Structure 1
Amino acid sequence: MARPMHMDSSAGPHPPRRPARIRTTLVTLLVSLPSMVLGGLLVFAVGALFGSTPALGLTVFWLVAALFVPGPTGDMAPRIFPVRRPRPEEQGALGSAWHNVTRAAGVRAVDYSLWVEDTDHLNALAAPGRIVAITSVALRLGARELEAILAHELGHHLGGDQRARMLSYWYALPLTLLRRILRRIAWRFAVFVAHAAHVVGAVGALRLFGVRKPLDTIAIVVAVATRVGFVLALAVAAVLHFGALVALPLAAILLEPFAERAQRRRGELDADRTAVDLGYGAEMRAVLELWSQRAEPRGRFARLLDSHPEIATRIEAVEARMRDIHTPPPGGPRSAHPPRFASARRFIDGRTGERSRRRDR
């Protein structure tokens, strides 16, 4: 967990307003509604095995329990994510950057915990429990660029969707557990069928027809077919047991992944907006430009299921917000040129100084 940091009460941009946070919370719950409804029906169905009264009581208990189930805490971060506490040599830069960001936002730095993931990929995350994590490579950036990344992650926490995600996770948990059970059963059945096909010679026949990795092909086809069969059987059973009305969430759940990803993309743009509002617009744009150099092109369908907007879209949104607010970042006006990273700035400054010395000669 991050060491305690002094809280500066100086004026700065305020967190997103309460109506905006409420709207984000409602939208987050709405896009998860099909899974939540089906999760409730599963709980009711389990209780119905013992009678109507136990079914109703179990469902009410499950609904109310979400309000009292404790969420994750900062100390739980290493159990959920591959992160560690900042090392002493990292704590200075990370703590200072976080102090500056939270001071600009007007929130308490000590209410959040900071973590580091050892990887060469530039990334960061914000998770319920007021967890903020960055990758080790992010610590090599300039101080302002590091603050921009942290401001983006703080924007996720201030946006209001973290608690909503916890609620949607709890209410969809029965359906999630059922999916995992069906996935495991389907895969074990697929492995059994693949080995049986090898024994009877079907694998050799597939090789004759030019099928590469026939064992894997058989296993994947059988696993997919088994899962589809399970889903169809459960859907028919649900309609027969609960009536045709249950067909609505069953149909809506097919669209839920697309809606959920769209909401996440909207959340990324909102977090970028928070970083700009806190005075890190130019630095946020520079970080996005670096990301764009490593981004791989994705197909149209893949983009529909992507949790992040295209980098070009994010850069355009950041620049549009910068034009809207027309306010300099904390610390006074900065150069109109987009900032680069510390090593690049040192290189440019060194070259400029060398040219000046030559002219002086």
Structure 2
Amino acid sequence: MTEPTYPDAPPPQYPTSPPPYPTVPPQHPHGAPQPPAAAPPQYPTTAPEYPTAAPPQYPAPAPQYPTAPPPQYPTAAPQHPTTVPPQYAPPPPPPHQPPQQPPRVPAQGFAPPPAPPQPPVLDPTVDIDPHTGRIHMAARQRGADATTIGQLLFQLPHFLCSLLVVTLVSLFLPEPLNWLLIGVWVASGALVFHRPTEKLLARYLFRMRPALHSELTRLEPIWHQVTAKAGVSPESYDLWIEDHKAINATAAAGHIVGVTRYALETLPDAQLAAVLAHELGHHRGGHAWATLLGYWYSMPARIAWVVFRFAAVIAFQIASIFSLLGALVVGVVAVVLVVAVALSFPPLLLVLVTPYLLAAVGRRSELRADIQAAELGFADAMIEVFHGFLRDEEQALAIAARENGGRAVRPGLGQRLLSTHPDTHTRIRRLEDWRAAAATGAR
């Protein structure tokens, strides 16, 4: 494509000065048109007439408003209730329910493992909650009451008899060893407070054993709550089991609380707690270690008495084979020997009386342990336990009466005086008296 060609014309000439403006207006060829002469507008000379009607009349009387008095407001502050509103106790959370799983089919020849034991649910009717009892540690964990002091005093004749036996045995030893034997025996009483020695005595002397894990699952929660109410450390004592078909418990040595397996399996939680509280009362009063200490120091005298009786019986039987006169002579010699030793060592005569005194002190200590259990809140549960004892005693008496031809079998006076436990009726009456006195004092 080619560009267009433009002619070579000169550029336009632009004026360099403005054109002159005419000084005379231009003349119209026919003359300037003349506008028509219009008349000036006529304006009114008078003001317009407005209506003279009177304005509307409003009602003269003002509207009547109600003249009722204003409401009376109280001038005194409202009285709020002075009673404390009940505290809202949130409902306990629902127990966790594990997801249900289909039972597993065990393989052939294998037995499924046993289910773990479930912890017991304590009886809610008896207050054995540690949060409502005394949960601080008491300043006096254990001590020695009047019955403990009396028991130690009445055991003194047995100790002197044992000392005589040890001294007679030491005469057969050379000079340094005889005094060593006496000193070792006197110091051996400290082993009563040695826990490994206590366990040996409990196992072989009291026929007890440590509690199994399944048994501790039942015992430990109740025991911890009993010790919390007493302000005692639960770890200070060991829980043992006695395999015996009777409801019983034992405060053995200084740190062992034993209970029969029958009581563990049959007693409700509240009654089992009451039984444990009773045994804890024996430990806190010092009854257990005083009994074991007296038994320990009287052991040489008991062994010597058993050996003497065995030797006298054997000599009497051998002499009776040859002649009746020889047997009579052996008997007289044995009696004279006992009387001579007793006269030469007067404390031996007290041994004939101390069993009755120790039994009386033992009955007193049982009543004191009952009261201590009642002070921890187990009076009603202890009474229920004793009523169970009454039922068992009545059944035993009925069986003994049938075996005895229908005649009632009652313990004699000597048996009652040598009993270390008071009769059940006396224990129930003492607890009922204590409960009545406590209720009167509470009012």
TM-score higher than 0.5:
yes
Compute the displacement of 1:151 (Å).
0.7
Verify: 1:272 aligned to 2:370, yes or no. Answer: yes
Compute the displacement of 1:75 (Å).
6.1
* Inter-CA distance 253–104: structure 2 relative to 1 (3 Å threshold): same
Compute the displacement of 1:45 (Å).
3.1
The amino acid of 1:47's aligned partner reads: S
* Inter-CA distance 15–187: structure 2 relative to 1 (3 Å threshold): farther
Partners of 2:142 and 2:154 in 1: CA distance: 18
Partners of 1:82 and 1:323 in 2: CA distance: 39
* Inter-CA distance 193–268: structure 2 relative to 1 (3 Å threshold): farther
- Deviation per residue, 1:29-85 (Å, 9 max, x gap): 111111111222222333345699976665455334434676433465333333333
Paired residue secondary structure (2:211): coil
Partners of 2:331 and 2:142 in 1: CA distance: 42
- Deviation per residue, 1:198-257 (Å, 9 max, x gap): xx9x9xxxxxxxxxxxxxxxxxxx8xx978963640440464xxx4xx22x122111011
TM-score, L = length of structure 1: 0.69
Contact kept? 1:182, 1:227, Cα under 8 Å: no
Contact kept? 1:74, 1:112, Cα under 8 Å: no
* Inter-CA distance 93–252: structure 2 relative to 1 (3 Å threshold): same
User: Which runs of 5 or more structure 1 residues have no equivalent in the other structure?
Assistant: 1-7, 203-221, 329-361
Partners of 2:440 and 2:240 in 1: CA distance: 31
- Report 1:150-169 matches (<5 A): 150-169=276-295
Contact kept? 1:128, 1:163, Cα under 8 Å: yes
Paired residue secondary structure (1:254): coil
Partners of 1:228 and 1:136 in 2: CA distance: 49
1:128: which partner in 2?
A: 253
Verify: 1:38 aligned to 2:161, yes or no. Answer: yes
1:236: which partner in 2?
A: 340
- Deviation per residue, 1:128-171 (Å, 9 max, x gap): 04111111221221110000011111111111123323332333
Paired residue secondary structure (1:172): helix
Compute the displacement of 1:281 (Å).
0.3
Contact kept? 1:15, 1:106, Cα under 8 Å: yes
* Aligned mate of 1:176, from 302, 315, 318: 302
* Aligned mate of 2:438, from 325, 335, 346: 325
Partners of 2:224 and 2:291 in 1: CA distance: 27
Aligned residues: 292
Compute the displacement of 1:275 (Å).
0.8
Contact kept? 1:16, 1:158, Cα under 8 Å: no
Partners of 1:12 and 1:324 in 2: CA distance: 26
1:98: which partner in 2?
A: 223
Partners of 1:264 and 1:228 in 2: CA distance: 36
Verify: 1:288 aligned to 2:386, yes or no. Answer: yes
Partners of 2:379 and 2:332 in 1: CA distance: 47
- Deviation per residue, 1:302-321 (Å, 9 max, x gap): 10011110111111111122
Partners of 1:154 and 1:104 in 2: CA distance: 11
State which drifts further: 115-124 or 258-267: 115-124
Paired residue secondary structure (1:132): strand
Compute the displacement of 1:26 (Å).
2.0
Compute the displacement of 1:279 (Å).
0.6
Partners of 1:148 and 1:173 in 2: CA distance: 33
2:417: which partner in 1?
A: 304
The amino acid of 2:251's aligned partner reads: A
Partners of 1:317 and 1:13 in 2: CA distance: 29
State which drifts further: 110-119 or 68-77: 68-77
The amino acid of 1:134's aligned partner reads: V
Paired residue secondary structure (2:148): helix
Partners of 1:145 and 1:327 in 2: CA distance: 25
- Report 1:1-361 matches (<5 A): 11=134, 21-48=144-171, 58-67=181-190, 71=194, 72-74=197-199, 77-139=202-264, 140-189=266-315, 196=321, 230=334, 232-237=336-341, 239=343, 243=344, 246-247=345-346, 249-295=347-393, 296=397, 297-326=410-439
Identity of aligned residues (%): 31
Partners of 1:98 and 1:315 in 2: CA distance: 24
Paired residue secondary structure (2:387): helix
Paired residue secondary structure (2:144): helix
Which protein has the bigger helix share? 1
* Inter-CA distance 292–277: structure 2 relative to 1 (3 Å threshold): same
User: Which runs of 5 or more structure 2 residues have no equivalent in the other structure?
Assistant: 1-129, 398-409
Q: Between the two structures, name the one with larger relative contact order (CA 8 Å, sep ≥ 6).
A: 1
TM-score, L = length of structure 2: 0.57
Give the greater-gyration-radius structure (CA).
Answer: 2
The amino acid of 2:421's aligned partner reads: H
Partners of 1:228 and 1:311 in 2: CA distance: 43
State which drifts further: 274-283 or 314-323: 314-323
Contact kept? 1:123, 1:135, Cα under 8 Å: yes
Paired residue secondary structure (2:353): helix
- Deviation per residue, 1:182-201 (Å, 9 max, x gap): 2333454566578x49xx9x
